[in-house]
Amino acid sequence: MNDTKRTHTMIGHNRYPHMFSPLDLGFTKLKNRVLMGSMHTGLEETENGIERLATFYAERARGGVGMIITGGFSPNDEGGIGSKLSTPEEAAEHRKITQVVHETDPEVKICLQILHMGPLAKDESCVAPSPVKPRIGRFTPQELSEEGIEKQISDYANCAAMAKLAGYDGVEIIGSAGYLISTFLVQRTNQRTDRWGGSWENRMRFPVEVVRRVREAVGKEFILAFRVPAMDMLEDGLAWEEVVSLAQALEAEGVNVISSHFCWHESPVPTIATMVPRAAFTQVTGRLRKLLKVPVITSNRINMPQVVEEVLARGDADIVSMARPMLADPELVLKAEQGREDEINTCIACNQACLDHVTGGGKQVSCLVNPRACNETLLNYRPAKEQKKIAVVGAGPAGLAYSTVAAQRGHKVTLFDSGSEIGGQFNLAKQVPGKEEFHETLRYFGKMIELRGIDLRLNTTVDAEMLRSMDFDEVVVASGITPRTPDIDGIDHPKAVSYIDVILRRKPIGKSVAIVGAGGIGFDVAELITHAGKSASLDIDIFAREWGIDFKNHPRGGVTGVPRSVETADRIVYLMQRKTGSVGKTLGRTTGWAHRATLNARGVQMVNGVEYVQIDDAGLHTRVHGVPKLFDVETIIICAGQSPLRTLYDELQTAGIKTSVVGGAYEAAELDAKRAIDQASRMAAEV
Ligand code: FAD
Ligand code: NAP
Ligand code: SF4
């Protein structure tokens, strides 16, 4: 190690002493306390997926993480996830992953997650302790017979043995979230009357047997981690005493590490979305840790090294699991170690390119802020063959991504924006309660502009003449969008205001409001104007009250089931759309329900099938499903979508200046930051 590297490493170790202290597991050692949590990427089922996964994990190993848990692999066909590990031939394929990871850094451990989806498997032949159809499952599972149960246990053991053969350092068994093992634990899903159901001892027999047999199959010197449902967020879920008794029983059977999980896919409580405060659930792991001898892992909304250090220093856990943050920045740990935390590309918990993809018809996972995630073999920012002088107009997500990638490749980039700060529409988004993490993306891009020597010119509105005089080799227009003004009689009435004026607090709004347009921005505006007090995403107590979580008494599932207590602004709000379908249908798959629930709890009235007729002193005149209706509101906020802002692009075309266009300026329909950043990064990788 050279001196500079050693000094850098010292910075991180001094700043984050807990995070960088090794952990002795007896027969093996973790080099630090950061684990990359399991994520199904979609590569598991793709052609050449194993090779792509090997590169994906190797980048994270190089990035400094202590231990990696792979995405879930089924122990058998019933396990229901497309990827399976049950034969020596499959183990030989997996060797490609373990070999590359261990070659990259022999100190990094990699464990295979064994995931049996049970009733959540997307196949008619799915199995469970009882034939109870999950609310979000497609099929009623087949009840397992005694022989069927024995087969599942022996398949778990075989899968673990195959993982060992494949060169993994261990396995993690997932016993939570509504998958097979957890359905044995909870009475609602386990209605058996034999030795596998009924009393608590019977209900926990299955996981205990699985662990016993897995340990027998792999021997002592193999990491065996188990994910317990520490708080499943179901009203009739696990009692705290049951959680503790399960963890202790597993410990007695030879589990080396207990991982606390805060999730059941059917639960009506958000646990990882952007409205969840950072490290909201680690206090539960902290309570469990006091009652166990083995190390415990905590997780959920831990996305920066400062948070990792706080959690560990508080004694809430021995190891911190970060999953999505490792998509956003594979070098997170290394950057922390070298005191470069301001260079971390932070996960903003949007779910837009990760969970929304994997739950939305099995699309491949990536990351909104890092389109290279899971595309490591396909999208690379290689040094440019010839340095070009490039002008990028617009410092929104598209312009920022383009500039930073082009500059990283060696081009000389000048980035213009008419605004006084970088960010474009992200400067609006970051004002919305629950979207505070968007500040981090802007901090990251700001740092990249500095490091990559980009010439940033703020407060500069660019026109064609200016660009011509500056003689650039390439001009990239990333000028974004202009809000759509719908064709409604009286749209110029003072009651009608644009969402931009509302978010930037440039215009006052009344006590009664109609929002025209219920897309992402309509929802965000509704959130903003019905919100009162501190943002729940910045305060764990407020968040807990809003979602009925009782950390102190830990009732069954950790939730109270009482109506949610939500502080709300004194305002009547109607959120409207022309479509007759349900309002909010276009929101993210894994987060839309939580946004709808919040607004419902605040009394926002969602109205579909609206025809906007006129705005006048009386308010907004409409026909709702054909029936005339006046909404006598004081303010009408227009959130009716957007059109590309192409004035500059058109000027440049007329002037004959060679121009590329990206982001909202290219196409505003269904534009979001995911598409803007992805498109811009890919273009800049080629220039
Ligand atoms: P913009 O962000 O619009 O940036 C364009 C930039 O160009 C601006 O800064 C502008 O000042 C500059 N510009 C224009 N013309 C000139 C000129 N002639 N000279 C110099 N500068 C110029 N997306 C998501 O994916 N997830 C979300 O959760 C999300 N939430 C949002 C919440 C709100 C309230 C809003 C308003 C948007 C949200 N979006 C979200 C959408 C996302 O912000 C946009 O899709 C994204 O910003 C588009 O990026 P862009 O770079 O194409 O354009
Ligand atoms: P949007 O999602 O396309 O929604 C526009 C809304 O306006 C729709 O409800 C639409 O519904 C309505 N509308 C369209 N044309 C209209 C017209 N002529 N008159 C009246 N109403 C009209 O766009 P957006 O809300 O402006 O958001 C912009 C982009 O930012 C979106 O693509 C979104 O993905 C992104 N964004 C994402 C998030 C997020 O949390 N993921 C948050 C904010 C923004 P009807 O046609 O039925 O009326
Ligand atoms: Fe995090 Fe969003 Fe990237 Fe997923 S897509 S890893 S939630 S930033």
pLDDT greater than 90 at residue 424: yes
Q: Domain 486-532+568-640, what fold?
A: FAD/NAD(P)-binding domain (3.50.50)
Q: Which ligand is nearest to the CA of 329?
A: 3
> Cα of 583 to ligand 2 centre, how many Å?
11
Ligand 3 atom closest to 674 (CA):
5
SS (H, E, C) 343-373: HCCCCCCCCCCCHHHHHCCCCCCCCCCCCCC
Q: Which ligand is nearest to the CA of 672?
A: 1
Residue with tokens 């968040």: 543
Closest residue by Cα to atom 30, ligand 1, is: 429
Ligand 2 atom closest to 579 (CA):
47
- The answer to whether the beta carbons of residues 382 and 681 sit under 8 Å apart is no
Q: What is the helix (H) or strand (E) element at residue 335, kind and residue range?
A: helix 332-337
Q: Which of 402, 479, 537 to mutate to test the pocket of ligand 1 (most atoms within 8 A of CB)?
A: 479
Q: What pLDDT score was predicted for residue 376?
A: 96
Closest residue by Cα to atom 6, ligand 3, is: 324
What pLDDT, in 10s, does the model give residues 572-617?
999 999 999 999 998 998 999 999 999 999 999 999 999 999 999 9
Question: How far apart (Å, rounded) are the C-alpha atoms in residues 65 and 79?
Answer: 29
What is the residue-averaged pLDDT of the chain? Answer: 95
Tokens found for residue 664: 């909202």
Question: How far apart (Å, rounded) are the C-alpha atoms in residues 523 and 443?
Answer: 25
Question: How far apart (Å, rounded) are the C-alpha atoms in residues 322 and 386?
Answer: 39
**Which stretches of 166-294 are DSSP H helices?**
180-185, 200-203, 205-218, 240-252, 282-289
Residue 4 φ/ψ, nearest 5 degrees: -60, -45
Of 621, 629, 619, residue with least CA distance to 512: 619
Of 680, 673, 652, 665, residue with least CA distance to 407: 680
**Ligand 2 environment, Cβ below 6 A:** 352, 484, 486, 516-522, 524, 577-579, 586, 588, 639-642, 670-672
For the chain, domain boundaries: 3-359, 389-482+643-686, 486-532+568-640
- The answer to whether the beta carbons of residues 334 and 321 sit under 8 Å apart is no
Please indicate whether residue 397, judged by its CB atom, sits closer than 6 Å to ligand 1. yes
What share of the chain in percent tops pLDDT 70? 98
Q: What pLDDT score was predicted for residue 10?
A: 76
Closest residue by Cα to atom 30, ligand 2, is: 672
Mean of pLDDT values over 325-347: 97
> Cα of 328 to ligand 3 centre, how many Å?
6
- The answer to whether the beta carbons of residues 335 and 19 sit under 8 Å apart is no
What pLDDT, in 10s, does the model give residues 9-47?
678 899 999 999 999 999 999 999 999 999 999 999 888
**Confidence band, pLDDT 50/70/90 cuts, at residue 5:** low
> Cα of 584 to ligand 2 centre, how many Å?
10
How many helices (H) and strands (E) the chain has is answered by 23, 27
Of 61, 264, 286, residue with least CA distance to 175: 264
> Cα of 396 to ligand 1 centre, how many Å?
5
Of 129, 109, 128, residue with least CA distance to 119: 128
Q: Could you report how far apart the first and last alpha carbons of the chain are, in Å?
A: 35
Given the candidates 3.50.50.60, 3.40.50.720, 3.20.20.70, 2.30.42.10, the CATH classification of the domain at 389-482+643-686 is 3.40.50.720
pLDDT greater than 70 at residue 6: no
> Cα of 383 to ligand 3 centre, how many Å?
27
SS (H, E, C) 555-594: CHHHECCCCCCCCECCCEEEEECCCCCCCCCCCCCCCHHH
> Cα of 482 to ligand 1 centre, how many Å?
9
> Cα of 586 to ligand 3 centre, how many Å?
18
pLDDT greater than 60 at residue 484: yes
Please indicate whether residue 395, judged by its CB atom, sits closer than 6 Å to ligand 1. yes
Closest residue by Cα to atom 2, ligand 3, is: 350
Task: Report DSSP state, residue 440.
Answer: H
DSSP codes of every residue in 11-72: HHHHHSTTTTS-EE-SS-EESSSEEE-----SGGGSTTHHHHHHHHHHHHHHTT-SEEEEEE
Q: What pLDDT score was predicted for residue 534?
A: 92
103: left (phi over 0), alpha (psi -120 to 50) or beta: alpha
**Confidence band, pLDDT 50/70/90 cuts, at residue 565:** confident
Residue 406 φ/ψ, nearest 5 degrees: -60, -40
For residue 2, give every residue at least 6 positions away whose Cβ sits within 8 Å of its Cβ, in sequence order, or none: none
pLDDT greater than 90 at residue 438: yes
Burial class (CB in 10 A: 0-12, 13-18, 19+), 212: middle
Q: Which of 639, 645, 666, 674 to mutate to test the pocket of ligand 2 (most atoms within 8 A of CB)?
A: 639
User: What would be the CATH architecture of the domain defined by 3-359?
Assistant: Alpha-Beta Barrel (3.20)
Q: Which of 301, 366, 367 to mutate to test the pocket of ligand 3 (most atoms within 8 A of CB)?
A: 367
Q: Which ligand is nearest to the CA of 441?
A: 3
- The answer to whether the beta carbons of residues 434 and 527 sit under 8 Å apart is yes
Tokens found for residue 674: 């995911």
What pLDDT, in 10s, does the model give residues 255-286?
999 999 998 888 889 999 999 999 999 999 99
Q: What pLDDT score was predicted for residue 12?
A: 86
pLDDT greater than 70 at residue 1: no
Residue with tokens 């004694």: 315
DSSP codes of every residue in 93-142: HHHHHHHHHHHH-TT-EEEEEE---GGGSSSTT-EESS----TT-SSPPE
* Residues designated catalytic: 179
Residue with tokens 């560990």: 312
Ligand 3 atom closest to 353 (CA):
5
DSSP codes of every residue in 481-527: EEE-----BTTTSTTEEEHHHHHTT-S---SEEEEE--SHHHHHHHH
Q: What is the helix (H) or strand (E) element at residue 648, kind and residue range?
A: helix 647-654
